[in-house]
């Protein structure tokens, strides 16, 4: 794919949603004073490539989560529809693209939202995430996951406050506080994210920057798990991965919703066997399954 494509036209070969290559441009002046590795993660609620690395990030947290902190920043993938490039000029143009990248990442993505209930911008859910962060950083991550499941699987327009509220309730956030922060402090926080992204040269998503003192490693785009693990090991050669329970019950205890791809990544079970097990547990009434035309997600009852 050529550079300067529409940001929503993500390149499955590089695993990047954005307007240009940025890994060569990411400034190397960042540093961390933390005793732990600091991860700066630039993302967007509607970034399909970011949805594509959920399995890798979830595994990284289980194996090395005691060695790093992760700071989520919003990149502003879709300001509005005035940006016309790369064959994308209107929401319906995105539908087929999302359906194409879904099997590539092996993560359920239903492009029909761009035909049925399209988003005008990714800014409202991004600002809502910053509002959630102001309230509770851990709950904000849960909130972001809820938003992503809504937009990629449930075809819900997450710019609409009713869906933002539903996601916030599921993440156990204070709705009144969220709305107040959304209207007042969060837009400033979001703008700071955008300004900082420009300063450090972030132009595509996902961009995951690993920092340890003056050392820096960048994983750019949807890469296999080994890329993320190697970044940790380069910055901390003595890092030892934590063992975790890989049975289905434990995995759903760590994460209340899992796709087959995520279950495979976390359990080490072959992909076909993973889906078969999840379907069996559904038939037994232990899990619930939400199906889309491009895959499914399972939750424990």
**Would you place residue 191 in the very low, low, confident or very high pLDDT band (cuts 50, 70, 90)?**
very high
Using CA of residue 250, residue 256, residue 261, residue 262, what is the dihedral sign?
negative
- DSSP string for residues in 74-85: E--S-S-TT--B
Q: Does 133 reside within a domain?
A: yes
CATH of the domain at 165: 3.40.30.10
Q: Does 204 reside within a domain?
A: yes
Higher pLDDT, 230 or 11: 230
Q: Residue 258 and residue 195: Cα distance in Å, rounded?
A: 34
Residues 184 and 258 in one domain: no
Least confident of 10-19, 34-43, 150-159: 10-19
Q: Does 214 reside within a domain?
A: no
Q: Does 225 reside within a domain?
A: no
Residues 272 and 168 in one domain: no
Q: Does 2 reside within a domain?
A: no
Boundary-marking domain end, from 176, 208, 240: 208
Residues 197 and 255 in one domain: no
Q: Residue 93 and residue 86: Cα distance in Å, rounded?
A: 10
On the question of pLDDT at 1 being above 50, the answer is no
Residues 198 and 258 in one domain: no
pLDDT mean over 91-113 = 96
Residues 261 and 199 in one domain: no
Boundary-marking domain end, from 179, 208, 237: 208
Residues 73 and 177 in one domain: yes
Q: Does 168 reside within a domain?
A: yes
CA distances (Å), 174 to each of 103, 126, 190, 239, in order? 36, 17, 19, 37
- Whether a cis peptide bond, with omega within 30° of 0, leads into 21 is no
The whole-number pLDDT of residue 2 equals 35
The answer to whether 79 and 19 have CB atoms below 8 angstroms apart is: no
Q: Residue 251 and residue 271: Cα distance in Å, rounded?
A: 15
pTM of the entire structure?
0.93
* Total structural domains within the chain: 2
- Output the average pLDDT for the chain: 92
Residue 297 host element (H or E): strand 295-300
pLDDT mean over 176-201 = 97
**Would you place residue 14 in the very low, low, confident or very high pLDDT band (cuts 50, 70, 90)?**
confident
Residues 168 and 281 in one domain: no
Residues 163 and 80 in one domain: yes
On the question of pLDDT at 294 being above 50, the answer is yes
| 32-51 pLDDT tens trace | 667 899 999 999 999 999 99
The whole-number pLDDT of residue 21 equals 47
Q: Does 238 reside within a domain?
A: no
Residues 199 and 73 in one domain: yes
| 203-229 pLDDT tens trace | 899 999 999 999 999 999 999 999 999
**Would you place residue 29 in the very low, low, confident or very high pLDDT band (cuts 50, 70, 90)?**
low
The whole-number pLDDT of residue 4 equals 43
Boundary-marking domain end, from 208, 233, 260: 208
231 three-class SS: helix
> For residue 284, what are the domain limits?
248-300
């Amino acid at each position: 794919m050529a550079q300067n494509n529409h940001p929503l036209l993500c390149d499955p070969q590089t695993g990047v949603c954005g307007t240009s290559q940025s890994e060569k441009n990411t400034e190397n002046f960042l540093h961390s004073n933390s005793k732990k590795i600091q991860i700066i993660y630039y993302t967007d609620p509607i970034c399909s490539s970011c949805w594509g690395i959920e399995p890798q990030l979830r595994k990284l947290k289980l194996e090395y989560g005691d060695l790093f902190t992760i700071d989520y920043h919003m990149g502003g993938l879709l300001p509005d529809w005035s940006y016309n490039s790369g064959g994308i000029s209107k929401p319906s143009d995105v539908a087929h693209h999302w359906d194409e990248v879904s099997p590539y990442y092996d993560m359920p993505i239903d492009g029909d939202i761009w035909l049925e209930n399209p988003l005008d911008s990714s800014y409202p859910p991004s600002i809502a995430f910053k509002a959630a962060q102001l309230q509770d950083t851990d709950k904000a991550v849960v909130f972001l996951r809820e938003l992503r499941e809504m937009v990629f699987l449930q075809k819900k327009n997450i710019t609409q406050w009713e869906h933002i509220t539903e996601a916030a309730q599921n993440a156990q956030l204070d709705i009144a506080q969220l709305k107040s922060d959304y209207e007042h402090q969060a837009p400033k926080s979001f703008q700071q994210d955008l300004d900082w992204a420009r300063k450090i040269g972030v132009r595509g998503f996902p961009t995951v920057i690993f920092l340890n003192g003056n050392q820096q490693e960048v994983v750019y785009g949807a890469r296999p798990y080994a890329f993320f693990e190697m970044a940790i090991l380069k910055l901390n050669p003595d890092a030892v991965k934590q063992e975790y329970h890989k049975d289905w019950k434990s995995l759903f205890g760590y994460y209340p919703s899992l796709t087959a791809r995520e279950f495979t990544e976390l359990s080490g079970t072959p992909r076909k066997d993973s889906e078969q097990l999840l379907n069996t547990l559904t038939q037994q009434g232990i899990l619930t399954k939400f199906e889309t035309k491009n895959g499914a997600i399972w939750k424990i009852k």
